[in-house]
Structure 1
């Protein structure tokens, strides 16, 4: 009987410990974000491993809500860009002519004051020397 009660309590405790996710409410505020980009070259009919990160920079990013819509603003832009949290975490695919684009966005919760965004895009074309594969990584920490 004691084992049954113990198992029940552990199950209830684990059931309440769901995976935390990045939400619109969490994003609202000012963030210091490190940006890095990696590129994989096309060689011998295959993409090679990603090269070390390039274009590393740090910037202030502000998420705000206006009329129940989420927007992002950066210091080097005078305009706000509408954001959709559900599109910040998922895959996509589309084609235009002979160009095919496949990719994914991953929004990773680290804590209430820290998150990471990873975006990978693969563009393939009939003229294979124009194929490209990039990975953008953004790591953000809340400014208090």
Structure 2
């Protein structure tokens, strides 16, 4: 009986690892994305409802570098020769695994929640909520400084021939 249970657990562990790798491999490539951003203001000791969304279109690129999935949002500047690329892995890992990151400082707490939802092999939605709360500030200072921003990225894979 123990052998059967061990085999089942081992099979489940292998399946879980394969799924993660498949997920990362599915992301590799270029994506056309619609990014929306909404801000919630602080009032009376709590965040209020999100405001109107601001939207923009961008290109997102994923690739595997040294065994780690990395992501870049291409920022097209007014000068075509000055395309800025920043590659990062930690936010991508956090989103794939639906993790929450909390940073506690003497004056404030920052919370980052990320989630990646697969719609299909060629579509995904990334949601990230970042909030920053200052604890030792007066209410007026908190209304100016505390912030909560929600980003939603709806992406479709760019077909390559």
Band the TM-score falls in, shorter-chain normalisation: 0.7 to 0.9
Q: Higher helix proportion, which one?
A: 2
**Distance in 2 between residues matched to 1:45 and 1:103, nearest whole Å:** 20
TM-score (norm 2): 0.69
TM-score (norm 1): 0.77
Gaps of 5+ in 2: 1-18, 76-82
Deviation readout 1:108-133 (Å, 9 max, x if unpaired): 11000000000111111022221111
Asked whether 1:135 is paired with 2:141, we answer no
- Per the alignment, residue 94 of structure 1 pairs with 103
Cα RMSD (Å): 2.0
Runs of at least 4 residues of structure 1 off by over 4 A? none
Deviation readout 1:51-90 (Å, 9 max, x if unpaired): 1212x11111111123322222333254451324431221
**Distance in 2 between residues matched to 1:75 and 1:86, nearest whole Å:** 19
* Range moving further from structure 2, 86-95 or 104-113: 86-95
Note if contact 1:69-1:82 (Cα within 8 Å) is conserved in structure 2.
Answer: no
